[in-house]
Amino acid sequence: MRGAGESLFERRHKRGWRNLACAAAVAVGCLTELNGVRAADDSVSGEYQMKANFLAMAPNFVEWPKDTSGRVTKTFQICVFGSFPFGTALAELTRTTEVNGKRVEVRWVHQESELGSCQIVFVSRSEDRHYGRVLAAMRDTSALTVGETPDFVETGGIVSLGTHGGGLEISVNLEAAQRARLKISARLLALAQRVIGRGAGARG
């Protein structure tokens, strides 16, 4: 039983700190997993092992809108546009994964017109001169766009993955996420070193 002298404000204050501590612990655990899990493909560099881990775990951090188009799709598609640096690592990490009951499929996409069916699109740095055109092709979709250069999120991409000190450095553009009708988890924001438009398009 709570002490008679403890106010409602004090109880809420303590609960808030407990929730914050839990969120921080989850974030640390997620970051460890992002940086530490390795697939069996040893030909893939450590950088792209970490980026593959992020893409495989991304559905845990994002809420997609319900599909009201009436289309029946059997797969959740993670697409790579541009050069494909993942070897077999990304496919191995997602081989037994399902998102909302749909099997995860990894695709290497070569044409911008093919991007409309993707739920996650990784845009390789080989396409850094074409960001505007690639993002324009997905303007009316709810795809989570992930790049790997700092100016990707400034151009309108949602997430950028850099590396620093042997780990991932994450940037998030919440305004772009909101335009895509995506809700980004507070757990991912806790991992991010940079957030554009904080307060928009986030979920608990």
Report how far residue 109's alpha carbon sits from residue 118's, in angstroms, rounded to the nearest whole number.
10
What pLDDT is attached to residue 187? 93
pTM of the shown model:
0.78
Contacts of 186 (CB under 8 A, 6+ apart): 23, 202, 203, 204
pLDDT at 164: 86
The tens place of each residue's pLDDT in the chain, 204 residues long, gives: 444 454 443 343 334 334 433 333 334 445 545 555 544 455 568 999 999 999 999 999 999 998 755 566 789 999 999 999 998 999 999 999 999 899 999 999 999 999 999 999 999 999 999 999 999 999 999 999 999 998 999 999 999 999 988 899 999 999 999 999 999 999 999 999 999 997 655 665
Burial 55-72 (b: 16+ CB within 10 A, else e): bbbbbebbebeeeeeeee
H or E segment at 74?
Answer: none
pLDDT at 45: 87
Query: According to the model, what pLDDT value does residue 69 have?
Result: 58
Residues 6+ apart with CB under 8 A from 160: 146, 147, 148, 149, 150, 152, 153, 170, 171
Tell me the torsion sign for CA atoms 134, 137, 142, 143.
negative
Whole-angstrom distance, CA of residue 128 vs CA of residue 183:
25
The number of angstroms, rounded, from the C-alpha of 16 to the middle of its chain's C-alpha atoms is 26
- Residue spans of the domains in the chain: they are 8-203
Homologous superfamily of 8-203 in CATH? Response regulator (3.40.50.2300)
What pLDDT does 26 receive? 39
Residue 42 confidence (pLDDT): 57
Question: What pLDDT score was predicted for residue 127?
Answer: 95
